[in-house]
Structure 1
Amino acid sequence: MTTPGINDVVRIQEGGLEHPAVIALVRQHLASAADHSPPESVHALGFERLRLPGLRFYTAWQGDELAAMGAVKRIAADHAELKSMRTADAFQRRGIAATMLRHLLQVAADMGCTRVSLETGSMDAFAPARALYARFGFVACAPFGDYREDPYSVCMTRML
């Protein structure tokens, strides 16, 4: 495994849920969510839900190494939700999450959405994610869609 750097070229592609590295990262994402939240507060998507119509799943690669994943789900004609954003451990704190987030926001804009929202955890383990979203202009909001008030969740939104 090479040491990834922020200046390395990142290739983002749609799909790829069958790739072994992607399967491993989705499983890690689900396990981490379960480690930090009670079952009723885990909103991470498993493989079946990541394949649902209306959801666009992306992976980011540096060379042959999976760096990150993320998805965009349309929840209304003008409103999208970010789902399953996760950076592989070897690529954390190297700008990959910001690259993926920029891409997902562009996908939402290309879909004709004017608003993008997300749900993330309220615990300390999710602080880096909340900070990233805040740097991109996301602000805390009331629960949207099927989300309900939950001390383990933080909902955030921004206009495009």
Structure 2
Amino acid sequence: FKVRKVSCGIESRMYRYLEARENITKLKRRGWKIAKMASQIESTFNTKGKICVMSFENENFPISELKYIPISAKLKKMAERLGDYLHALKQYRSDDDPWWSETRSYMESIYEELNFIATGTLMGAPLKDPNTNAMHLEIELPRKDEHKMSVLMSAFKKKDSFKARIEYYNREKT
């Protein structure tokens, strides 16, 4: 595992969450430290670490589900420790030192957590404009699911009626 790549992956996802909202100031968008970005994201979306699942259904398409998966406190702490691995070791460690397997295991757990978060398709929890009641969603779907987006967008443009449900779930403890 490349420590820098994992750290960049986490920062990239956090930056994308911040970038997705038009109502976030340019100053906030310039943040780069993980702890700072995490507090900015939470102050904007205020999900208290819960996963937001938004479901849409109408007669033309079955339930379509979108998810916002926030950066967990666990991943934030892990990411803050990544700096410890970017520099040369102060003490020599032999190939059979348990430190190597422990570090690899730690890096793999960071990767798994980041991979889970990257499965989210909403770049933030839905926010409703109190003046217009409009809801802004920033959606990113994997290429294999792009057809779902066109069906959903078609329904929105036609102003088809559909059922929408927003639910918040606690993360499973890992």
TM-score (norm 2): 0.28
Normalized per residue, which structure has more helix? Answer: 2
- The one of the two structures with greater contact order (alpha-carbon pairs below 8 A, sep at least 6) is 2
When Rg is computed on C-alpha atoms for both structures, the one with the higher figure is 2
